[in-house]
Amino acid sequence: MCQGDDPACLDFEKHRLDFRTGMAKERRTFLKSSFAATGAAAALATTGISLVSPALAQSSAARQPGQPAYVHLPANADTVHWGYFSKTLKPQAEVNSGDYVTIETLTHQASDDSERMITGDPGAESVYLWTKDKKGVMRRGAGPGDGGGLGVHICTGPVAVRGAEPGDVLEVRILDVKPRPSANPAFKGLCFGSNAAANWGFQYKDLITGDRPREVVTIYEMDATGERNWARAIYSFKWVPVTDPTGKVHPTIDYPGLLVDHAQTQRNWDVLKNVRVPIRPHFGTMGLAPKEADFVNSIPPSYTGGNIDNWRIGKGATMYYPVAVDGALLSVGDPHAGQGDSELCGTAIECSLTGTFQLILHKRADLGGTALEGLNFPLIETQDDWVMSGFSYPNYLADLGANAQSDIFSKSSIDLAMRDAFRKMRSFLMGTKGLTEDEAVSLMSVAVDFGITQVVDGNWGVHAIIKKNVFAGSAT
């Protein structure tokens, strides 16, 4: 029976709305879980308003080879790439449009507390392995040789989508997000995350107390059994120099996967008492391989997605990405348990998660006259909103030339990101909703919320949010 997934069904629209309504009910029962996304959508849009029209859905479904398949992609040293996107990577899985894939993701900050986030976890142990003689994942970053730490996120994948070509759009539905519990028996039923107030944070050169500047890491605890939907800080510590297995000393957090020895730190167990941090699990880094370079730093976001760091990219959200290379090559990483707009101090609650996704390919030939025609940036759709992601440089790899991957860190500004978010929302309202420019400008001023996505990822971000119910009158 059609459950809103068969565009050929005569009652497709009704079944799709019924399915989404049912998912909304599931959200309410799921709120008791520690990983119920407090501020994010928990299901597909109950409004029935979607960027994918029934006609486009039918055309895309007609291209699918048969019944959807299911793939599980674990996170280990063989399935992850650390600190970069690349069109040269061999796919870790290959799927058809419409298939479902569960992807495990590991936080790149698990080494801040290996006892809680690595010990006993074979996948994490294989990725973080680093001795004098062996490194579980040799390349860390997009730089020459071993990557040089020019990029930090552990990304699982890539996943290739059969038939995907430049000019197509990949729809990624986030159906579920679950915590990766601590594998250490001493912390059964719990999961943990790390927040680093780091040297790339907005606050670093603007502190007013204590040692200045300084880097401070706070470890957060979440319940993995479904009893709490909030996180609590359990301790913090000031970063002390770490000597890696090659003998190099790291006085600051300047390379991913540095194993902190807490015999050398002074932990403060009296931190953020009586404070409950809402859990909003999401993937900070998710996107497709760009075409402009063989190895692309995972830190700055760009037109194919990547490190957008918007907490709205969680359970129930849908992402639309422009395809730049054959196969699309989707990678997922930088999992977060919670984050505020701006990610001000440098990181979120960096916490390993597992996501389940459905991947739907929309071919360029079918996009004419649709809301996705000409899409050239990552677009977020939630239950209630459409979200445009503005960046200081929409495609910094092309915009800044040969030295783009270094220049981006000194050229970004909120003004530029705001300008990009404005232009993308204006285009969306005029192209998708048929507004005149004057109408779009007025509506943006009175109904669109602009917010600072992040100021820590090189290519700074501003998002623009328009609520779907603004257009509810057109459906009556």
- As a whole number, mean pLDDT of residues 111-130 equals 98
Q: What is the pLDDT of residue 231?
A: 98
**What is the pLDDT, as a whole number, of residue 47?**
40
**Predicted pLDDT of residue 418:** 98
Q: Is 305 exposed, middle or buried (0-12, 13-18, 19+ CB in 10 A)?
A: buried
User: Looking at residue 459, what is its pLDDT?
Assistant: 98
pLDDT at 113 over 60: yes
In 3D, which of 464, 391, 384, 453 has the Cα closest to residue 429?
464
- Summarize the confidence of residues 102-106 as an average pLDDT: 98
pLDDT at site 3: 42
Q: Is the pLDDT of residue 46 over 90?
A: no
The pLDDT, as a whole number, for residue 66 is 87
Sequence-ordered list of residues with C-beta below 8 angstroms from that of 335, at least 6 positions apart, any chain: 105, 106, 107, 281, 282, 283, 284, 350, 351, 352, 353, 355
Q: Specify the pLDDT at position 474.
A: 63
pLDDT at 332 over 70: yes
The pLDDT score that the predictor gives to residue 42 is: 33
Name the helix (H) or strand (E) containing 440. helix 437-447
Pairing of strands 282-288, 80-82: unpaired
Asked if pLDDT for residue 34 goes beyond 70, the answer is no
pLDDT above 70: residue 28: no
The residue ranges of every structural domain in the chain are 12-180+278-475
Q: Kindly state the average pLDDT of the residues 16-24.
A: 47
Q: How many residues does the chain have?
A: 476
Q: Which is it for the CA torsion 299, 74, 225, 109, positive or negative? A: negative
- The yes-or-no verdict on residue 13 having pLDDT over 60 is no
Neighbours of 268 (CB within 10 A): 13
pLDDT digits (tens, 9 = 90+) for 182-200: 999 999 999 999 999 999 9
| pLDDT surpasses 90 at 21 | no
Architecture of domain 12-180+278-475: Sandwich (2.60)
Q: What is the pLDDT of residue 339?
A: 98
With 0.95 as the threshold, say if the pTM is over it.
Answer: no
Average pLDDT over residues 421-442: 97
Q: How far apart are CA 347 and CA 334, in angstroms?
A: 10
Tens digits of residue pLDDT in 121-155 = 999 999 999 999 999 999 999 999 999 999 999 99
* Digit-coded pLDDT (tens) for 367-410: 999 999 999 999 999 999 999 999 999 999 999 999 999 999 99
Rounded Cα gap, residues 269 and 17, in angstroms: 49
The mean pLDDT of the chain is 91
